[in-house]
Amino acid sequence: MNIHEYQAKALFEKFGVPVPKGAAAKSAAEFDAALASLPEGPTMVKSQIHAGGRGKGTFTNGFKGGVKFCKTKADAKEIAGKMIGNTLVTVQTGPAGRKVQTVYFTVASDIKKEYYLAILLDRASSKPVIVASTEGGVEIEKVAHDTPEKLFKVLVDPAYGLADFQVRDLITRLGFAGAEAKNAAKLIRQLYTCYWETDAAMIEVNPLITTPTGEVLALDAKVSFDSNALYRHPEIVALRDLNEEDPKEIEASKYSLSYIALDGNIACLVNGAGLAMSTMDIIQHFGGTPANFLDVGGGASKDQVVAAFKIILGDPNVKGILVNIFGGIMDCNVIATGIVEAVKEVGLKLPLVVRLEGNNVVAGKATLKASGLALVSGDTMADAAQKIVKLVAA
Amino acid sequence: MSILITPDTKILIQGITGDFGGRHAKLSLDYGTKVVAGVTPGKGGQFFEHGTHKVPIFNSVADAAKATGATVSAIFVPPPFAGDAILECVDAGLDLAVAITEGIPVKDMVRVKRAMQGKKTRLLGPNCPGVVTPGTGKDSFGGCRIGIAPGYIHKQGHVGVVSRSGTLTYEAVFQLTSKNIGQTTCVGIGGDPVNGTSHLDVIKLFNADPETHGMILIGEIGGTAEVEAARWIKANCKKPVAGFIAGATAPAGRRMGHAGAIVGGTEDTAAAKIAVFKECGIEVAVTPSDMADALLRAAKAKGVTLT
């Protein structure tokens, strides 16, 4: 689960991680009150959406830049008016963009130097890793590729937590000294506590900055959480912004379906994540384009299949459907009956190819055949994928 | 032989009195697996009954292991308690804990994995279908089935299968059995980012097992575990290996069902992993329908008989 920058910074403050003073506004009517809490002077205006590349983004109304520097609060108010309620397109949003529903005002800090700091899971060692660099404000992938010697990593032993010597080591390698070193050490320790205590999946601060007066601040904040751990963090669940999520994915989750929309025109409905991914792959392999990832889990009950069909058919690009079920434990005949009922209930008009395999498959295929529905049976995944690709191309 | 478990392995089931655990306990008993104990705190002294089977239930793993000689546990307990259930197996000194549970917080697994360091217990999973060593009876009856895989699709033989995904494993096993090629052991290592046993760990076991003549290695996007296994295979393994990677069409940054199936960089894409497979002499299945055939091609090239 992702949260907005302004929410992440409020969380940072709770854990004692210093950030520039800021205030969020959810409508133009709230601009004055938000700005009143900030001192007069240079102010940043930042569009709040769950996507990166905001600074270089363009609004669909032609206004350029989702993050702007303003010399005065009056200017900031005017600029915020051009952002709120409008749609921002960035490299990460796709062409449809995201509607900006919150604008965040912050004091524009004097920047002495920019750094990079992130905390996430290192999968190879199964330990939290702190990644830091002297090259902040740029894409970290580029730093890792071009100048790996400027990227520092510290693995944290989960049994003991972040050790002081590790923080000192990091501070030294980043070149901090004096008051900056002390402040940076404190910030890193607090940020790690925030990561660990909140079950964060990733915290990224890019840039982390120093100011001419020796302050160390998190100028930006990107935070995501482990969705498996949300049950023990109601305060974080409360930060969820459904406006930032695909309504079809939200609907799918109500039926324990895992659904992700893609750009293609062949929808698929599969049991199991690995099989669902490879069903998308095999559609592409035979020249089609998958419209979605959809994992119905181990069961594939009639209600789930009905819900899945409805969600799939909500995508106007879909021209055909491939159902691929390996009924290991589940009786294929029960699944087939569910599919037939679901097709009748939603009045499916599109080409449908069903590939069933596993337990009691002969009876299942017979049920599909006896249904009188215009569905096509596929024997193997390859056979089924080729059939649906051909039907959709016709 | 087989790896990890044999048809004689005695297993206990944590969460046997729950719907999920109970259903699969019955299927394992029907398969002929030696399910000798159940564990549900507070229900010690009761029995889990199925047909002629009467499986005693204990309050703790230690009690169950001591009384029955069980050496392996299948864990079906809900996510908030699953980390603790794994640690209980470690404390009881079991050989193997197989965590079927899906949805365990990453932090819990990070701590559990650290606590298991240097201990004798091996962990398989979590979020995995389990492990099957097929038996010699009809539809491979008489084997050891731990977890949720359909037992009947297996056949005893000489191929090892290791995978992150449940249904994709069944797909591979089904293809093999349909071609009359049997399996030594089929291992699901699970779809989470932190798991107890890696692809490489299992590949090493298969490589050392004289009965295993060839292997199918099934991976997916996210992480670099498949790459690590492939490089080791190139340097150390003479047996034929076929590989498949799911997720070539998955968009970057989106989690595809499995918590670990997410492209985060340039190294963990399907294309990158497939390139390493090829470089390491692994025969790549071009589609999931091609997994058994890919292994046959690899075996033929090395002059190895799989049946």
Domain extent at residue A23: 19-107
Give the per-residue pLDDT at A299.
65
Contact: A274, B109; criterion CB under 8 Å: no
Angstrom distances, CA of residue A379 to CA of A127, A138, A323, A348, A358: 44, 50, 12, 22, 11
CA distance B224 to B262: 11
- Contact pairs from chain A to chain B, CB under 8 Å: 169
Q: Is the peptide bond preceding residue A207 cis, with omega within 30 degrees of 0?
A: yes
- Domains annotated for chain B, with CATH where assigned, are 10-124 (3.40.50.720), 155-302 (3.40.50.261)
Task: Name the nearest CA neighbour of B186 among B276, B112, B284, B291.
Answer: B291
CB B263 within 8 A of CB B252: yes
Nearest to A274 among B108, B174, B246 (CB): B246
What SS3 string covers B249-274? CCCCCCCCCCCCCCCCCCCCCHHHHH
- Give the model confidence (pLDDT) of A44-79 as tens digits: 999 999 988 899 999 999 999 999 999 999 999 999
Q: Where are the beta strands (DSSP E) in chain A?
A: 22-25, 43-47, 58-59, 67-70, 87-89, 98-99, 103-107, 113-122, 127-133, 151-155, 200-210, 216-218, 222-225, 258-261, 266-270, 292-295, 320-327, 352-358, 375-378
Instruction: Give residue for tokens 């695909």.
Output: A246
Asked if the Cβ–Cβ distance from A226 to B244 is below 8 Å, we say no
Asked if residue A253 and residue A387 are part of one domain, the reply reads yes
Local structure of residue A66 (DSSP, 8 states): S
Cα B2 to Cα A380: distance, rounded to the nearest angstrom: 29
pLDDT at position A305 is: 85
**The domain spanning residue A139 has which CATH number?**
3.30.470.20
**Same-domain pairing of A301 and A358:** yes
Domain count, chain A: 3
Q: To which residue do tokens 């979605």 refer?
A: A292
| Cα–Cα distance, B217 to B229 (Å, whole number) | 9
The CATH number for A356's domain is 3.40.50.261
Unique residue bearing structure tokens 């699970």? B190
CA–CA gap between residue A32 and residue A21 (Å, rounded): 16
Q: Which of A180, A208, A237 is the last residue of a domain?
A: A237
A190, A213, A237: which is the final residue of a domain? A237
Q: Which of A6, A104, A115, A116 is catalytic?
A: A116
Rg of the Cα atoms in chain B: 19
> With an 8 Å Cβ cutoff, are A381 and B288 in contact?
yes
ipTM of the complex: 0.92
Mean pLDDT by 10 residues, chain B (307 residues): 94 96 95 98 97 97 98 97 98 98 97 97 96 96 95 96 94 96 97 95 98 97 94 97 95 82 82 96 96 97 93
Best B26, B30, B107 residue to mutate vs chain A (most A CBs within 10 Å): B107
Residue A5 in domain: no
> Does one domain contain both A223 and A316?
no
φ, ψ for residue A136 (rounded to 5)? -100, 165
pLDDT of residue A360: 85
Q: Give the nearest chain A residue to B196 (CA atoms).
A: A126
Return the pLDDT at A120: 95
Phi, psi at B82, each rounded to 5°: -70, -40
Residues A90 and A171 in one domain: no
* β-pair type (B241-246, B283-284): parallel
Question: At how many degrees (to 10) do helices B225-236 and B270-279 cross?
Answer: 0
Same domain, A225 and A349: no
pLDDT, tens digit (0-9, with 9 covering 90-100), for A321-351: 999 998 877 788 888 888 898 888 888 889 9
Token look-up 């306990």 returns B25
Listed as ranges, residues in chain A with pLDDT below 70 are 298-300
Same domain, A144 and A209: yes
Decide if A139 is catalytic: no
* Contact between B201 and B180 (Cβ < 8 Å): no
Q: Is position A14 within any domain?
A: no
Residue A288 and residue A368 in one domain: yes
Say how far apart CA A342 and CA A344 lie, in whole Å: 5
Residue A116 catalytic? yes
Alpha carbon of B255: minimum distance to chain A alpha carbons (Å):
9
